[in-house]
Amino acid sequence: MTILSIETSSSVVALALCRDGQITAERSETSDSVYAERLPEWIAQTLEATRTDMEHIDGFAVSIGPGSYTGLRIGLSVAKGLAYATGKPLVAVPTLDAVAYTTGCAQFPVCALLDARRGQVYAAEYLTDTGWPERTTPFKVGAIEEIVRELTPPVLFAGTGAEAYRPRIEALWSDGAFFLPSGLSRLHAVPVAFLGLRALKAGERASLYDLEPLYLRKPMYVKSGETSPS
């Protein structure tokens, strides 16, 4: 089975091509404003480089959020367009699930954190001892102190929120807080591909008409020329 995955929930624009459980191509770049121009171009280049015809792709996976309002809208729009044009299925992967997947078979409970800016994080708790993230709480948004106080150590913290707020987490817990190595918090499309592949094999399908990004909070609109903090 061949699947193309898209990750645009942050300033990272990323895609990955997974064939028979192996990543055959991956591309990512940090960008604040060029999602629309680069995604279709990158997809075409990736398919050409791997000698993959669009008709040979069995499905698509897209990171659904929470995250950047603009990024999520554009990534989902591209994914829906591909699924509609090819008649192939689309699956949605929660971004926090993808973060939790990167921890592997963690021996502790995992708290996946994404930096939501405005002094907040998006969060969810998981068990990953099987190698697959099992979410044990609803998705949340709040101040890091609020999120951490609801946890019981030991906990493995992962994601951009863990890296951004590590000093504040360690100030709350003198012991029992564990973190992934620096640099592993960057979002990318590989976990989205593997989780999407699993979902497709399980028969999951998203409705192209009803699927919407997972926002958790309302967007904050800004004046033209300014940058949204989300």
pLDDT in tens, 23-74: 999 999 887 666 656 889 999 999 999 999 999 999 999 999 999 998 999 9
Report how many domains make up the chain. Answer: 2
**24 shares its domain with 87:** yes
**136 shares its domain with 153:** yes
Closest alpha carbon to 128 in 162, 166, 158: 158
Return all residues near 223 (Cβ < 8 A) that are at least 6 apart: none
pLDDT at 225 over 70: no
Determine phi and psi for 206, rounding to 5 degrees.
Answer: -95, 150
Taken in order 180, 186, 190, 191, the sign of the CA dihedral is positive
Q: Which band of pLDDT confidence, cut at 50, 70 and 90, is reported for residue 184?
A: confident
Q: Are strands 110-117 and 120-127 parallel, antiparallel or unpaired?
A: antiparallel
Q: Which band of pLDDT confidence, cut at 50, 70 and 90, is reported for residue 174?
A: confident
Mean pLDDT in the chain?
A: 91
**150 shares its domain with 68:** no
Give the range of the structural domain holding residue 174, as residue numbers without chain letter. 96-179
